[in-house]
């Protein structure tokens, strides 16, 4: 008989049972369910609703169930529907009717709201470490390529010379903001809903603050309806996950482009590449492509949750059972992508010479020539026109700006002197851009130092 079956006169149809059950996916929350039940039992005893002996039996029974589940000695059943009722059924089988007392002053509605929060808190801690590992990898590579000159792009056209270190640190900043979003999500996640009951709390004199302290939450939910009926914390996590994956996808796209023969900036390690079933010469960037592809999957998880919640009246509705698979998928996908992306990046080989050669083409120093003329007293808009004409001349004559003779330069402006050649040197173009946020090696070095300090602080905060 179902634990809720007193009002029913018929057995549940097998189709209904299968369709209604969530144990196939919510079983992964068994640790959190047991953790919450232990805190609840302790509070019931403190309030005199259970005796201390009853509490001890319940707690020891739950701990045994956890150990047996982890040892593979117990199995979940569809008949018990979900992780909550499976564990309660196991507990009753182990300690007798006393197990039925555990659910006093509690509903599956506030129980699942608690379990999901506990689960997500644990997963956020792991994701946090994975992001920090990626950030450390970017800092390491940024230091190695502090002076590796490469072209910067706008509109996928070569624009101005930068360094690879500067380029990598752009992604460092993106992931740092993602970490901030994750931390913000965690702050709103840490409200303890147990005690909300099904929707209207309970008449029992519960000590919700005691449970909050046991479970290390920052606050209790302030409204019982809200406590059981919203999943905005899960949506916020999926929003964070979508932005993180967007950044990983952009990074992946660049690495894929750079690995082509047309760019030849990077070579992926064999351990993080695959081949073709028909073309023996191929070495494919499948890991980066999969990360790029899985981004859409996480976007889908976010849209699933937003759509699920968009028109639900208060309080709990069975629709909300559908929140877990999307949330779990977002968690799993983010973790898998971060786990493989970092070593893929660290083992990649960057071709410094090819990057430098590429940075020297397509007039990436044209803006510097315009800036040079400004230093000689010409207004920038007039300098822009002068350089545009010089570039057109170079295109027609298949020359680079720095290859023009001084006499030819003077045809475009009498302000141009012999010192222009040093000004047009690609390394000098980069080194000159040393204001905060710029690509000059001395500026990037400071950014790397600050980035390392940030990572250390984040690690210390997690201890």
Q: What is the CA radius of gyration of the chain?
A: 30
Find out whether 182 and 124 touch, Cβ atoms under 8 Å.
yes
Neighbours of 430 (CB within 10 A): 28
Cβ-based neighbour number of residue 190 at 10 Å: 16
Catalytic choice (145, 155, 224, 242): 155
Residue with tokens 């877990």: 324
3-state secondary structure of 399: coil
| DSSP state at residue 49 | S
**DSSP type of residue 149:** E
The backbone torsions φ and ψ at residue 282, rounded to the nearest 5 degrees and listed phi first, read -75, 145
What is the Cα–Cα distance from 232 to 245, expressed in whole angstroms?
A: 19
Question: Could you confirm whether 155 is annotated as catalytic?
Answer: yes
CB 139 within 8 A of CB 444: no
Please report which helix (H) or strand (E) contains residue 191, including its range.
Answer: strand 191-192
Q: How far apart are CA 30 and CA 35, in angstroms?
A: 8
Relative to beta strand 219-220, strand 266-267 is: unpaired
Is 276 designated active site?
yes
Say how far apart CA 319 and CA 355 lie, in whole Å. Answer: 53
Identify whether the C-beta of residue 146 lies closer than 8 Å to the C-beta of residue 135. no
* Active-site residue, from 107, 276, 348, 358: 276
Catalytic residues: 155, 276
């Amino acid at each position: 008989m179902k634990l809720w079956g007193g009002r029913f006169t018929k057995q549940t149809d097998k189709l209904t049972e299968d369709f209604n059950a969530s144990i196939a996916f919510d079983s992964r929350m068994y640790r959190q369910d047991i953790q919450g039940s232990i805190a609840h039992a302790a509070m019931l005893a403190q309030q005199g609703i259970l005796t201390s002996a009853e509490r001890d039996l319940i707690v020891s029974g739950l701990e045994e169930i956890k150990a047996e589940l982890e040892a593979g000695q117990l199995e979940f059943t569809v008949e018990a529907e979900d992780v909550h009722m499976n564990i309660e059924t196991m507990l009753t089988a182990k300690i007798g009717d006393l197990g039925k007392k555990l659910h006093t002053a509690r509903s599956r509605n506030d129980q699942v709201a608690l379990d999901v929060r506990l689960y997500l808190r644990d997963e956020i801690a792991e994701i946090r470490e994975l992001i920090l590992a990626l950030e450390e990898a970017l800092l390491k590579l940024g230091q190695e390529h502090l002076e590796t000159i490469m072209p910067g792009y706008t509109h996928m056209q070569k624009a101005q010379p930068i360094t690879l270190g500067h380029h990598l640190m752009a992604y460092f900043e993106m992931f740092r903001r993602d970490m901030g979003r994750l931390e913000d999500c965690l702050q709103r996640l840490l409200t303890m809903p147990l005690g909300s009951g099904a929707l209207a709390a309970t008449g029992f004199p519960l000590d919700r603050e005691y449970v909050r302290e046991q479970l290390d939450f920052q606050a209790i939910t302030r409204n019982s309806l809200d406590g059981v009926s919203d999943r905005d914390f899960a949506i916020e996590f999926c929003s964070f996950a979508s932005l993180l994956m967007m950044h990983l996808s952009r990074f992946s796209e660049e690495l894929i482009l750079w690995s082509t023969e047309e760019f030849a900036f990077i070579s992926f390690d064999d351990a993080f590449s695959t081949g073709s079933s028909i073309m023996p010469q191929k070495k494919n960037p499948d890991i980066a492509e999969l990360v790029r592809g899985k981004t859409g999957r996480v976007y889908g998880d976010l849209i699933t949750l937003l759509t699920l919640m968009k028109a639900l009246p208060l309080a709990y509705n069975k629709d909300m059972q559908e929140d877990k698979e999307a949330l779990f998928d977002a968690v799993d996908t983010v973790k898998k992508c971060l786990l493989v992306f970092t070593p893929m990046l660290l083992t990649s080989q960057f071709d410094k010479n090819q990057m430098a050669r590429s940075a020297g083409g397509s007039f990436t120093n044209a803006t510097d020539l315009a800036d040079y003329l400004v230093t000689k007293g010409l207004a920038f808009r007039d300098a822009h026109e002068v350089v545009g004409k010089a570039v057109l001349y170079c295109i027609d004559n298949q020359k680079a700006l720095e290859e023009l003779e001084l006499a030819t330069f003077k045809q475009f402006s009498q302000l141009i002197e012999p010192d222009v050649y040093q000004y047009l040197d690609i390394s000098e173009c980069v080194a000159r851009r040393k204001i905060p946020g710029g690509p000059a090696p001395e500026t990037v070095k400071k950014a790397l130092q600050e980035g390392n300090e940030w990572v250390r602080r984040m690690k210390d905060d997690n201890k």
